[in-house]
Amino acid sequence: MNKGMLALGIILLAIFAFTMINVVNSYFSGNEMDYYLLKETTEASMKDAVDLGYYKMSGQVRMDKEKFAESFIRRFAASVRLNRDYNIKFYDLNETPPKVTVRITSKTTASNSNGETAGMTNEISAILETTYKSNKLIEQLIQQGKLNYSKLNQNT
């Protein structure tokens, strides 16, 4: 009987150890995958949201906020696993120069006896930089008051 109870104890301890290893591994690998997904999605969405018409006119890079948010959510939703709940928040969305800060909070499937789940938060700030070219004709028109970019935003 002693050897039977010892064997049962070893089996239960092994099951507990494998469960804990699985939870910890899921937590850390999920956090790493969320970070790289956040990084790649932010970079691709910023490139998608560049306003090419504005760039051709002025030589400056400008990002459309709404297009960035739409592209980011679409790309992120297509790439995540369905075993977690994600909360996406956008902070500091600037059009010129293009800068965003995105925070992703996710909750794991593992929970304790109170029903509380472990949460992970990843945040990234990104700035889209390019080598700016100056267009002398555009600069002359701006100095003469014939070209006003503030009126462009009012018409849209």
Is residue 95 included in any domain, yes or no? yes
Is residue 84 a part of any domain in this protein?
yes
Count up the domains in the chain and report the number: 1
Does residue 7 lie in a domain region? no
Residue 71: inside a domain: yes
Whole-angstrom distance, CA of residue 38 vs CA of residue 103:
9
For the entire predicted model, the pTM comes to: 0.66
Residues 90/105, Cβ–Cβ less than 8 Å: no
Does any domain span residue 153? no
Q: Domain range spanning residue 46?
A: 30-147
What residues in the chain have per-residue pLDDT under 50? 155-156
On whether residue 152 sits in a domain, the answer given is no
Round to whole Å and give the CA distance between 36 and 19: 26
Given this model, what pLDDT does residue 69 score?
A: 93
* pLDDT value of residue 134: 67
Q: Is residue 74, in this structure, part of any structural domain at all?
A: yes
pLDDT at site 103: 94
1 lies in some domain: no
Q: What is the 3-state secondary structure (H, E, C) of 43-65?
A: HHHHHHCECHHHHHHHCCCCECH
Backbone angles phi, psi at 39, to 5 degrees: -65, -50
